[in-house]
């Protein structure tokens, strides 16, 4: 049962019991009274939702799973939270993540691991392992995640849930603690493709508080997810996102999924994205560069829990002890990498080259979408691995992101949907669509359910 599966998972950092029950009771009251107020309720009113603890909320702590922000209460709500409250979805609480969303296993949380409900000795993916585990264990039917390099889609894949990263700018980033601003997007974690589409419609649309927000909302997502018609749809298999490094069982489920799509009437061809082999390298320069800049404000003076050296010290020393004590190893590793990549003398060689690769990857995708409507690949090269297996090997951890990163570098939408099991563990299939093609992505993904 769902209850048994939720035991020992540790999906939540904070549970919002009283407020969630009050909102649920309020919706019940409105429904029972009937009339125009009941009719004007949002279709998702009363459906509980879990929120990744990188997204700020009034009345509940926001920690980013970091000691730096332990106990911090935001004075304002993120735009996505405002929209959830306006539609009267009870917020169950805040879910665990890798510190500041950096990781692929949720083991980098400062407040303990989250476990995969399918096997408590395995990771739930990351960084949004808490949101994915909460949905997989039937603790919440809906959750919010954030995806900078795959943190919605990879946890979705390894927990057997649906996770979507919308087109960059489709959902407001206002009130989402920034990791790498040119890559970050908020998106839904759910049990079905239709739920994901409905939730994206609710949280999406223009926000004047986010300067990268798209001017027009992306419409017709739920309709597309309910349609699921594949006749005439051209689907491309990315040659570079299969083969070496991908588990046999993952590839087997992937091939079966492609067959299902073909049988449903899609036209399937193989396409090449020749620069995808450089995506991981480019991401692990661009992302830490933006991280080093975005996290500079956590110095104990402007933001973050201040730690003063024994016997006091200068302001620089206070900032030093604050950052030494407040950040974990993975966060420090990325700040150092980013500071190095951006430093005078190295900027052109590292950051400059990575930006050129980013353009080449965008061109690969433009060319591919000239031939096909959507692309498919495995979401993650491997299924959920045992806790601790990759914790001391950052490169092995980063390799989990090979298939998810291109979407962030290009700003296009991507979704992971469950595609069966391999040795008892969930496998996810990823669909990618052109920018603003979220409806097409949901339509294709729905065909696999
Ligand atoms: N695993 C990726 C990383 O560690 C993804 C992070 C994310 O999407 N927030 O950077």
The domain limits of the chain are 2-273+363-446
The whole-angstrom separation of Cα 184 and Cα 169 is 9
63 close to ligand 1 (CB < 6 Angstrom)? no
Q: In angstroms, what is the span from residue 267 Cα to ligand 1's centroid?
A: 32
Listing DSSP states for 108-150 in one string gives T-TT----BTTBTTB---SSSHHHHHHHHTTS-SEEEEEESSS
Test site for ligand 1: of 126, 397, 407, most ligand atoms within 8 A of the Cβ: 126
148 close to ligand 1 (CB < 6 Angstrom)? yes
Q: Which atom of ligand 1 sits closest to the CA of residue 148?
A: 8
HSE value, Cβ hemisphere, 13 Å, CA-based, for 13: 33
439 and 415 in contact (C-beta within 8 Å)?
no
Task: State the residue for tokens 């290009």.
Answer: 410
Residue 279 class from Cβ within 10 Å (0-12 exposed, 13-18 middle, 19+ buried)?
Answer: buried
Q: In angstroms, what is the span from residue 215 Cα to ligand 1's centroid?
A: 27
Of all protein residues, the one whose alpha carbon is nearest to atom 5 of ligand 1 is 149
Query: Strand, coil or helix: what is 166?
Result: coil
The whole-angstrom separation of Cα 204 and Cα 218 is 8
104 close to ligand 1 (CB < 6 Angstrom)? yes
> Regarding the domain delimited by 2-273+363-446, which CATH topology (the fold level of the hierarchy) does it fall under?
Amidase signature (AS) enzymes (3.90.1300)
In the chain, what's the furthest Cα-to-Cα distance?
72
> Which stretches does DSSP call E strand in 142-201?
142-147, 162-165, 185-190
125 and 157 in contact (C-beta within 8 Å)?
yes
Q: What is the pTM of this model?
A: 0.97
377 close to ligand 1 (CB < 6 Angstrom)? no
179 close to ligand 1 (CB < 6 Angstrom)? yes
Residues belonging to the active site? 52, 127, 151
**Hey, how many other C-beta atoms are within 10 angstroms of the C-beta on 267?**
15
Interface TM-score (ipTM) > 0.95: yes
Q: In angstroms, what is the span from residue 151 Cα to ligand 1's centroid?
A: 5
106 close to ligand 1 (CB < 6 Angstrom)? no
What angle in degrees, to the nearest 10, is found between the helix axes of 279-294 and 329-342?
100
Predicted local distance difference test score (pLDDT) of residue 209: 98
**Hey, how many other C-beta atoms are within 10 angstroms of the C-beta on 8?**
10
Structure tokens at 262: 């073909």
The whole-angstrom separation of Cα 278 and Cα 284 is 10
The continuous run of DSSP H or E covering 402 comes out as: none
299 close to ligand 1 (CB < 6 Angstrom)? no
The whole-angstrom separation of Cα 140 and Cα 284 is 32
Predicted local distance difference test score (pLDDT) of residue 47: 98
Predicted local distance difference test score (pLDDT) of residue 4: 52
Predicted local distance difference test score (pLDDT) of residue 7: 76
Question: Phi and psi for 415 in degrees, rounded to 5?
Answer: -140, 145
The whole-angstrom separation of Cα 357 and Cα 355 is 5
Q: In angstroms, what is the span from residue 388 Cα to ligand 1's centroid?
A: 17
Query: Strand, coil or helix: what is 22?
Result: helix
pLDDT tens-digit profile, the chain (449 residues): 344 566 799 999 999 999 999 999 999 999 999 999 999 999 999 999 999 999 999 999 999 999 999 999 999 999 999 999 999 999 999 999 999 999 999 999 999 999 999 999 999 999 999 999 999 999 999 999 999 999 999 999 999 999 999 999 999 999 999 999 999 999 999 999 999 999 999 999 999 999 999 999 999 999 999 988 899 999 999 999 998 899 999 999 999 999 999 999 999 999 999 999 999 999 999 999 999 999 999 999 999 999 999 999 999 999 999 999 999 999 999 999 999 999 989 989 999 999 999 999 999 999 999 999 999 999 999 999 999 999 999 999 999 999 999 999 999 999 999 999 999 999 999 999 999 999 999 999 999 98
Q: In angstroms, what is the span from residue 386 Cα to ligand 1's centroid?
A: 19
Predicted local distance difference test score (pLDDT) of residue 5: 60
Query: Strand, coil or helix: what is 430?
Result: strand
Name the DSSP letter for residue 53: T
The whole-angstrom separation of Cα 430 and Cα 441 is 10
Q: What is the dihedral of CA 257, 384, 374, 211, to 10 degrees?
A: 160
Predicted local distance difference test score (pLDDT) of residue 1: 37
Q: Which atom of ligand 1 sits closest to the CA of residue 154?
A: 1
Predicted local distance difference test score (pLDDT) of residue 228: 81
The whole-angstrom separation of Cα 428 and Cα 415 is 9
């Amino acid at each position: 049962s769902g209850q048994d599966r939720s035991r020992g998972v540790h999906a939540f950092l904070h549970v919002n019991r009283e407020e969630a029950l009050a909102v649920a009771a309020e919706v019940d009251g409105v429904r029972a009274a009937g009339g125009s107020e009941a009719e004007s309720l949002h279709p998702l009113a009363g459906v509980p939702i879990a929120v990744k603890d990188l997204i700020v909320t009034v009345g509940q702590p926001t920690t980013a799973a970091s000691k730096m922000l332990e106990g911090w209460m935001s004075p304002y709500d993120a735009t996505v939270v405002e929209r959830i409250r306006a539609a009267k979805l009870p917020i169950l609480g805040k879910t665990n993540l890798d510190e500041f969303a950096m990781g692929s296993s949720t083991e980098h949380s400062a407040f303990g691991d989250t476990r995969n409900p399918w096997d408590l000795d395995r990771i739930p993916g990351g960084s949004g392992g808490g949101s994915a585990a909460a949905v997989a264990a039937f603790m919440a039917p809906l959750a919010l995640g954030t995806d900078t390099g795959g943190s919605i889609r990879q946890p979705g894949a390894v927990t057997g849930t649906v996770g979507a990263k919308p087109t960059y700018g489709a959902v407001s980033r206002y009130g989402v603690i920034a990791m790498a601003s040119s890559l970050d997007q908020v998106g839904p974690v759910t049990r079905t493709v239709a739920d994901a589409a409905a939730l994206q419609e609710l949280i999406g649309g223009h926000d004047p508080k986010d300067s990268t927000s798209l001017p027009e909302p992306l419409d017709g997502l739920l309709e597309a997810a309910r349609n699921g018609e594949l006749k005439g749809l051209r689907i491309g298999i990315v040659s570079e996102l299969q083969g070496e490094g991908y588990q046999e069982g993952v590839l087997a489920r992937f091939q079966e999924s492609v067959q299902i799509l073909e049988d449903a009437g899609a036209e399937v061809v193989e396409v090449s994205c020749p620069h995808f082999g450089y995506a991981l390298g480019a991401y692990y320069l661009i992302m830490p560069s933006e991280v080093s800049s975005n996290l500079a404000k956590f110095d104990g003076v402007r933001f973050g829990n201040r730690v003063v050296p024994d016997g006091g010290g200068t302001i620089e020393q206070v900032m030093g002890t604050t950052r030494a004590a407040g950040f974990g190893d993975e966060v420090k590793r990325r700040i150092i990498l980013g500071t190095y990549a951006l430093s005078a003398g190295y900027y052109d060689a590292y950051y400059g080259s990575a930006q050129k690769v980013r353009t080449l990857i965008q061109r690969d995708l433009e060319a591919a979408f000239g031939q096909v409507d959507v692309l498919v690949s495995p979401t993650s090269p491997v299924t959920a691995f045992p806790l601790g297996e990759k914790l001391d090997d950052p490169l092995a951890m980063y390799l989990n992101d090979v298939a998810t990163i291109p979407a962030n570098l290009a700003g296009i939408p991507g979704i992971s949907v469950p595609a069966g099991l391999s040795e008892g563990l969930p496998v996810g299939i990823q669909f990618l669509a052109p920018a603003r093609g979220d409806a097409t992505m949901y339509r294709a993904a729905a065909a696999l359910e």
